[in-house]
Amino acid sequence: MATPTGFTIATDLYEYSRFEEKFKTIVVSWSAFGGGDMSGEQIRFDLIKARRNRDASVYNKTITITGTSDPESGDLVILLEDIVDDKQISKLRRGKYFIRISSITNPGVFNDTSEILMSVMTAQGLRDNYLWGLKMDAFGIRMPTFQPSNVSGVEVMSMNAGHPTSFFPLTYVYEPGPPTVRQLAWNAGPLVSITAPGTFVLRFDCTGTDYMIVRVRDLNALPTSGATDELVIEKDMISDDMLRRFIINACDWWENDKISVYLEPTVLVTDTRLSGNPDDDWDFIVPSLTYYPSTGVKWIDILFPYPSLLRVDDLFGHIANTRVVEIDLNWVEISEKNGFVQLVPFNTTSAFRFIGLVWIGSMHSGMELPGFWNFKATAGLRYLDPVIYDILSKKAAIDALTVAGHAFRNGISSQSISRDGVSESVGYTASSIYGIYGATIEEYRKFIDKEIKYLRGRYRGVNMVVL
């Protein structure tokens, strides 16, 4: 039995969402090679967060190679809904990830996919469900549907507004020399020499005024032989990257401004806890909490300012860079909805490990201790209510429709043409206030304003302040 000496690995899509049926499954295509008969060898797959040390795995699976050919290949299906912890809490949060394949026998042999994106909603999902049938192109902007692939190292930056739309060739000429010759030509235009990185104007033909502007960042990225790309030129569209930015803004609006509840399970740590556990994975660093002494006969309680508190993985008291009390997590009783925690020890003599007289003295005198409670906790919605998904989608769609309305007919609201006594007047807006998509935007906004009131009460309750 031989050990693999290399791998190839790729995913079927770039963007996924566990809340959308079409995008909740990752199909991973892999190939192992270089080892001859590798039957019986085990290989491991890890879904890893693409941040910081890039070593926080949220999912892993080991499979055994059964075939005897070299290379040996196959597919792995990952169901995003199944990536949960021991309390059935999802381990995924929106952001970038990658998948690593590695050899169990020799972990130093591995390969990674390109980064993939986990989203609350995908750009394609937004197009299909909330922008369906609406024009998302810009009247006065022409661009290729895809950037050049054969002529690598060349990026199309812009084109003149009246450029023809169809299929046209981008030609690259290479002669090794010396001297080395690198030239670009657009359609039937003249060849332009590329002698250094920079921006270049390529004419569409030798007599007209149409042109394309391209950028070359690195000469070494250009092909070392002649190449041609046939580019499709159309009216420029709102890109998926733009839609993703609108989606991110909508999610941040919900989490930080409107409701202040995390949409997905989110790992929160205090700075003090982090300093003692630098390798732990976390999403946000949050302030530590003040200790308020109990009054009367009742358990010590802590009000976490994070509704939908799902779990507490570490909790301790901290004074002057010293842990003065450790909390046994078996005594942590959580009221999930409002983030209220009570400490209920079953054995008062071993419930707390006291270190230092400062903590004991504060217990007797009833002093408040700012920044005392430090923790690692997970907060966020266990499940995404369909109404929340609708609100976020329509919030993102409003931004997209506003931009699309500006791009349609270059922002012109109406046009009048008169010739030889015949006149024509065309209006491009559905409303004198909001533009071409004003009616749709207004309907989406009314829906959001209506539903957000109920959801605020459901997930936040009444905000109260003690003076």
DSSP string, 93-145: -SEEEEEEEEESS-TT-EEEPPPEEE-SS-HHHHHHHHSTT---EEEEEEEES
* Residues 414, 408: Cα–Cα separation, whole Å: 11
Do 278 and 252 sit in the same domain of this protein? Answer: no
Q: Is residue 421 part of a domain?
A: no
Q: Is residue 1 part of a domain?
A: no
Do 132 and 244 sit in the same domain of this protein? Answer: yes
Do 254 and 397 sit in the same domain of this protein? Answer: yes
- Per-residue model confidence (pLDDT) at position 81: 95
* Residues 389, 385: Cα–Cα separation, whole Å: 7
Q: Is residue 207 part of a domain?
A: yes
Do 39 and 125 sit in the same domain of this protein? Answer: no
The CATH number given to whatever domain includes residue 73 is 2.60.40.2550
Q: Is residue 245 part of a domain?
A: yes
Q: Is residue 370 part of a domain?
A: yes
DSSP for residue 255: I
- Per-residue model confidence (pLDDT) at position 354: 41
Token pair of 32 as six digits: 């192992």
pTM of the model: 0.84
- Per-residue model confidence (pLDDT) at position 277: 63
Do 73 and 126 sit in the same domain of this protein? Answer: no
Total tally of structural domains belonging to the chain:
4
Do 35 and 4 form a contact (C-beta atoms < 8 A)? Answer: yes
Do 178 and 278 sit in the same domain of this protein? Answer: no
Do 114 and 72 sit in the same domain of this protein? Answer: yes
Do 184 and 330 sit in the same domain of this protein? Answer: no
Q: Is residue 79 part of a domain?
A: yes
Q: How many CB atoms lie within 10 A of CB 261?
A: 21
| Residue range of the domain that includes 212 | 139-237
Do 224 and 270 sit in the same domain of this protein? Answer: no
Do 405 and 446 sit in the same domain of this protein? Answer: yes
Q: Is residue 275 part of a domain?
A: yes
- Per-residue model confidence (pLDDT) at position 236: 87
- Per-residue model confidence (pLDDT) at position 457: 86
- Per-residue model confidence (pLDDT) at position 369: 83
Do 129 and 256 sit in the same domain of this protein? Answer: yes
- Per-residue model confidence (pLDDT) at position 360: 46
Written as tens digits, the pLDDT of the chain (467 aa) is 689 999 999 999 999 999 999 999 999 999 999 878 899 999 999 999 999 889 999 999 999 999 888 899 999 999 999 999 999 999 999 999 999 999 999 999 999 999 999 999 999 999 999 998 777 788 778 999 999 999 999 999 999 988 999 999 999 999 998 899 999 999 999 999 999 999 999 999 999 999 999 999 999 999 999 999 999 999 888 889 999 999 999 999 999 999 999 999 999 999 877 765 656 789 999 999 998 877 666 778 899 999 999 999 999 888 888 888 888 888 899 999 899 998 887 655 444 544 443 444 455 456 788 888 999 999 999 999 999 999 999 999 999 998 888 776 555 455 455 555 555 554 545 444 556 788 889 999 999 999 998 998 888 765 554 44
Do 334 and 361 form a contact (C-beta atoms < 8 A)? Answer: no
Do 223 and 343 sit in the same domain of this protein? Answer: no
The secondary structure element, H or E, covering residue 387 is: helix 386-407
Q: Is residue 459 part of a domain?
A: yes
Listed residue (134, 132, 126) closest to 22, CA to CA? 126
Distance, first Cα to last Cα, the chain: 73
